[in-house]
Copies of this chain bind each other. A is one copy, B any other.
Amino acid sequence: MKPIARSPGIDRRAFLSTVALLPALSVSFLPASAPAQTATSGGLLPSWNDGPAKQAIVDFVRATVDRSSPSYVPPEERIAVFDQDGTLWVEHPLYTQVVYCLERVPAVVAKKPELKNAEPFKTVLSGNREAMAKLTMKDLEKILVATLTGMTTEEFNAEARKWIETARDHRWKRPYTELAYQPMLEVLRYLRDNTYKTFIVTGGGQDFVRIYAEKVYGIPPEQVVGTAGGTKFGYDKDGKPFLTKEPKLLLNDDKAGKPEGIHLMIGRRPAAAFGNSNGDRQMLEYTKVGGGARLAMLLLHDDAAREYAYGPAAGLPDSKVGTFTQALYDEAKQKGWTVISMKNDWRRIFAFEGEARSG
């Protein structure tokens, strides 16, 4: 996730951690192409090529579930945490949740016509990407607050669920939920098969990710930790209780907020952590510093043909999303974290590539 200045103050609007990327709106989309290898073997982690990354995962799991191993981890401590955007699914060129917020603006304005000629809503409605790219952080906060708060949790769930089922990404023309990385889905399953509990720890909105995490990743809502706003309990006119989503930030689950969120929501140090950016650094450090076997992995987006290539660690200019600096890369090497090369370590990236081949 893009780093932002951290401020836990209660006045900060919710979900700030996803707003620093507006200029990405003007990024032109790369041409689609999918020269993926189809997985051929039915063995362990079939979408992974043999190599140090796959080996690190398999070695870790084997060492920690083997009772005779000095690195044995008892089942109740088998906690694995995964960043979402850029680690479990595509984050480039825009976080999916930000696309959702922008696309919700017309519906919000329809309900509150007074916003129609007010900024930043007017600019978003114009569809003028160059103008949108110039919106300020303050503008973006207004959009996030207007589209993610002020409704009941049930209304939000219904709206977000409907959107996620119908929206399509611009490059592959597929539901966003199909842009989950097949190799990571295999890792999730492999860990769960070995009685690891898998958690998402995302800078994205907790309520948003919970909408689809169970279906896409097999991760239930109670195992999704994310940037979270407060809710307010109340009763409707029939005395039926409900919760309203408030514009009050409880947890900014990015950077230092990730280990803090892990403590709040999970309450123990993970044995394994997966990330892809500077926003995951503290989570990886916090995981790795525990005693015994600990797995820390970073996904490097270095495959412009099959997905995207971005960031200094990929030898490319920095991206508006998923900053992975050379300094992070160096820290990984120094501390024994494993860097996954999307290009070299992944035989296949998306499940639909296999379909296309066999179809």
Contacts and interface: CB of A to CB of B under 8 A. Distances in A.
Given A221-B268, A264-B250, A8 B230 contact: yes
Contact of A221 (B9, B214, B266): B266
Contact of A282 (B233, B240, B260): B233
A153 B285 CA distance: 16
A251 interface: yes
A201 to B, nearest CB: 12
Given A240-B289, A241-B289, A286-B241, A263 B222 contact: no
5 contacts: A8-B230, A224-B267, A231-B260, A233-B286, A265-B265
Interface in A225-246: 228, 230-233, 240-241, 243
Interface residues of A, number: 42
A260 B232 contact: yes
A309 to B, nearest CB: 30
B153 A266 contact: no
A222 to B, nearest CB: 5
Contact of A267 (B199, B222, B256): B222
A237 to B, nearest CB: 14
Interface string A122-146: 0000000000000000000000000
